Structure 1
Amino acid sequence: MIRSINLIFSIVVICVLYLAFNRVVLAVDCLNINPNTVSSGDADFCMEELEKIKSQYAPAQEKNKQDLAKLQAKVNDLNKRITSMTIFLKNLERDISKREKDSVYAQEILGKKAVGQYIDIRLYDPVLSILSADDALEVFRIIKIREKVADADRKTIEKYSEEIIKLKSDKLNLEKNKASLAVLQKQVSEDAKFLAGEVAKVEIYLATLSAKQQSFLAQKLESLGLSRSAYNMKGGCSSDINPFKNPGFSPSFAFFSFGVPNRVGMNQFGAKGRAETGQNYTQILNAYYNADVTSGYNIGITINVSGKNEFGQSFNDNWNIEDYVKHIYEMPTDFPIDALKAQAIAARSYALNYTNNGTKSICPSQSCQVVKREINNGTWQAAVDATRGMVLTSGGLPITAWYSSTHGGYAYTSGDIGWSNKPWTKRLVDANSGIGNFSDLFNNSYDKSSPTFYCDWGSRTQYNKTAWLKPEEVADIANVILLAKADGSTQKHLSQTDKPNPDGVDTWDENRVKNELSSRGITSFNSVSNVSIGADFGSGRTTTVTIDGRSFDGQDFKSYFNLRSPSNIQIVGPLFNIEKR
Structure 2
Amino acid sequence: MRILPHLFICLVVSLFVVLFVPVVHAEDCIPPSSSDNPSALGDKIAKCQEAWNQMEKAIKPHADALRKMESDIAAFQGRIKVIGGEVAKKEMAIASGEKELAGFLGLAGRRIRQFYIRNTINTPVTAFFSSMNVGSLLRDMAYQKSVTNEDKRSITHTALSVKDLENKKKTLESERAMLAYIKEETDKRAVSVRKLVGEASAYQSKLTGIIASLTAKQREILSEKSGTFQTTVGDVPLADDPASRPDYDPGFSPAFAAFSFGAPHFRGMSQYGAFGRAKQNQGYEQILKAYYGNGIEIKDHNPDAQIQVQGYGTYSLEEYAKRIYEMPGSWGDEGGMEALKAQAIAARSYALARGGSICATEACQVFKPSPKGGNWERAVNDTRGKVIYTNGSPFSAWYASTSGGYQESYSSNGYSTPGFWDTASGRGGWTSQAYEKIAGSPWFYKGWYRSRSGDSCGRSHPWLNSEEMADILNAWSVLFRGGGDSGRVTPQGPCWGGNPYNMSELKSIGGYSSVSGVSVTYSDSGVTANVTVQTDKGSITINGSDFYKAFNLRAPGRISLKSGLFNIEKK
TM-score category (smaller protein): 0.5 to 0.7
Aligned to 1:257: 260
1:556 equivalent in structure 2: 546
- In structure 2, how many angstroms separate the alpha carbons of the residues matched to 1:326 and 1:558? 40
Letter matched to residue 482 of structure 1:
S
What is the rounded CA distance, in whole Å, between the counterparts of 2:476 and 2:482 in structure 1?
10
Specify the SS of the correspondent of 2:557: coil
Amino acid of the residue matched to residue 489 of structure 2?
Answer: L
2:219 aligned with 1:214: yes
**Pair 1:397-2:393 in alignment:** yes
1:250 and 1:257 mapped to 2: Cα distance? 21
Verify the 8 A CA contact 1:348 1:391 in the aligned structure 2: yes
Instruction: Report Cα offsets for 1:476-525 as digits up to 9, x if no partner.
Output: 111221233332651122211113665x43x22111222234xxxxxx22
441, 450, 468: which one aligns with 1:450: 441
Counterpart of 2:509 in structure 1 is 516
> Would the aligned equivalents of 2:521 and 2:531 in 1 still touch at CA under 8 Å?
yes
Paired residue type of 2:447: D
Q: 1:526 aligns with which of 513, 517, 536?
A: 513
Taking only aligned residues, the RMSD between alpha carbons, in angstroms, comes to: 4.3
CA distance in 1, matches of 2:457, 2:40: 27
Change (3 A) 1:490 1:209: closer
The CA deviation at 1:247 is 2.1
Which deviations, in whole Å up to 9, do the C-alpha atoms of 1:363-414 show, x marking residues without a partner?
A: 2221211122332233211211121111112222222211001000011134
Task: Tell me the equivalent position of 1:350.
Answer: 350
Q: What CA distance in whole angstroms lies between the structure 1 residues aligned with 2:370 and 2:345?
A: 20
1:474 Cα shift? 0.4
Structure 1 unaligned residues grouped into runs of 5+: 1-6, 31-40, 75-197, 307-314, 518-523
Indicate if the aligned counterparts of 2:353 and 2:396 stay in contact, CA closer than 8 A.
Answer: yes
Q: Mark the CA change 1:558 to 1:545 in structure 2 (over 3 Å): closer, same or farther.
A: farther
Does the alignment pair 1:493 with 2:493?
no
Provide the residue aligned with 2:288 in structure 1: 285
Partners of 1:47 and 1:429 lie apart in 2 by: 40
Deviation at 1:287, TM superposition (A): 1.6
Higher mean C-alpha displacement, 568-577 vs 239-248: 239-248
8 Å CA contact 1:252, 1:469 repeated in 2: yes
Question: 1:577 is matched by which residue type in structure 2?
Answer: N
Contact 2:267–2:399 under 8 Å retained in 1: yes
Unpaired runs of 5+ in structure 2?
1-14, 69-201, 451-455
2:306 to 302, 305, 316: 302
CA contact (8 A) 2:457 2:495 kept: no
Counterpart code for 1:441: W
Distance in 2 separating the partners of 1:421 and 1:54 = 43
Normalising by the residue count of structure 1, what TM-score does the alignment of the two structures yield?
Answer: 0.60
**Residue deviations 1:208-254, cap 9 Å, x none?**
8766653564356569x9952253445x4414375833322122111
Task: Name the SS for the 1:560 alignment partner.
Answer: helix
Change in CA separation of 1:260 and 1:64 when aligned onto 2, cut-off 3 Å: farther
Classify 1:512/1:246 alpha carbon distance in 2 versus 1 (closer, same or farther; 3 Å). Answer: same
| Percent identity between the two aligned chains | 34
- 2-structure distance, mates of 1:200, 1:427: 41
Alignment of 1:296-375 (within 5 A): 296-306=300-310, 315-333=311-329, 334-335=331-332, 336-354=336-354, 356=355, 359-360=356-357, 362-375=358-371
Q: Is 2:555 the counterpart of 1:565?
A: yes
CA–CA distance in structure 2, aligned partners of residues 285 and 65 of structure 1:
59
Change (3 A) 1:226 1:547: farther
Deviations 1:31-58 (A, max 9, x none): xxxxxxxxxx557489558846963774
Could you tell me which residue of structure 2 aligns to residue 547 of structure 1?
A: 534
2:315 partner SS: strand
Among 348, 372, 377, which residue is 1:376 paired with? Answer: 372
Aligned with residue 49 of structure 2, among 51, 55, 66:
55
Task: Please list the CA deviations of residues 313-339 of structure 1 after superposition, one character each: whole Å capped at 9, or x if unmatched.
Answer: xx5233211011011111122242221
In the superposition, the TM-score normalised over structure 2's length comes to 0.61
Match of 1:35 in 2: none
Distance 2:503 2:410 in 1: 38
Query: Aligned to 1:323, what secondary structure does the other structure show?
Result: helix
Q: 1:352 to 1:63 in 2, by over 3 A?
A: farther
AA aligned opposite 1:485: F
Residues in 1 aligned to 2:516 and 2:461: alpha-carbon distance in whole angstroms: 20
Residues 523-577 of structure 1: CA deviation (Å, up to 9, x unaligned) = x222211111122144333433423311122111111111111110101100111
1:127 maps to which residue? none
Contact 2:528 2:564 in 1 (8 A): yes
Q: Is the 8 A contact 1:230 1:269 kept in 2?
A: no
Superposed CA deviations along residues 235-293 of structure 1, whole A, max 9, x for unmatched, are x4414375833322122111100000111111001111222223221121112124523
